[in-house]
Amino acid sequence: MSMIEVLDKGYVRLVNHMGSDLTVVNAARVSYAKESKELNDKDIRLIKFLAREGHTSPFRHVIMQFEIYAPLMVARQWWKYVIGSAHAEGTGDSLEAWNESSRRYITEEPTFYIPGEQQWRSKPENSKQGSGAALGNEAGQKLTKELIDYIELGVQKYEAALQDGVCAEQARLFLPSYGMYVRWYWTASLQAVCHFLNQRLEHDAQKEIQDYAKAILELSKPLYPVSVEELMVRSETLEV
């Protein structure tokens, strides 16, 4: 499996990857000019030690590349992990890359995330962020219809602006933004991926980005079963 569908129209696709659990082991063992040919119990104990003690540089020799199609509200939360990353223990270096489609250059048909009538959530009782219980069907029906109407109006005005000769980079101002799907490539080290997962799989993370994090985990864990397992349970040792 290399692609997982998320939300109503989104997906996560594993484009490429480099390395294995053995890569992590050998990156650590090179300090002693040693190398393992096959992963064994001793190597697994070493991975556990590295994760437990916060020796994270060996996990940065493993790289994954994903193509992601998600609403802008998800993309902008995700982007914070790129601009705020400093994985090399205080040096500020980042092993992450992000390239995103731009409506300055393309005019493909806009696509939007539209929650179903049972997917609208109430505001939380004791927090300024996040969400609470699901709203009732009647409120959900009203909200879904209003959102569809709003999107249709924006798209009509966007297309009219293009027909009037407005450049694409300005015509996009008419498009409702936060629910609009965008596509990007995310390339990151295993440490960076697991740091993202540890935070966005938490119960208080926004549900939509939780769904994407679950897809990233499902695609990553079969490739690096030992390392992902250890980094996921050792979240307190990960640095950002």
Q: Which residue numbers are catalytic?
A: 200
Residue 197 · residue 217 · CB < 8 Å: yes
Residue 82 · residue 96 · CB < 8 Å: yes
Q: Which residues of 6-38 are buried (b: 16+ CB within 10 A; e: fewer)?
A: bbeebbbbbeebebbbbbbbbbbeeeeeeeeee
Dig out the tokens for 84 from the structure.
């705020």
Sign of CA dihedral 141, 5, 197, 234: positive
Query: What is the C-alpha to C-alpha distance for residues 45 and 1, in angstroms, rounded to an integer?
Result: 29
Closest CA to 200 of 151, 166, 240, 145: 240
3 burial (CB, 10 Å; 0-12 / 13-18 / 19+) is middle
Query: What is the C-alpha to C-alpha distance for residues 140 and 113, in angstroms, rounded to an integer?
Result: 15
Which H/E stretch holds residue 153? helix 137-163
In the DSSP assignment, the letter for residue 39 is: -
Query: What is the C-alpha to C-alpha distance for residues 201 and 131, in angstroms, rounded to an integer?
Result: 15
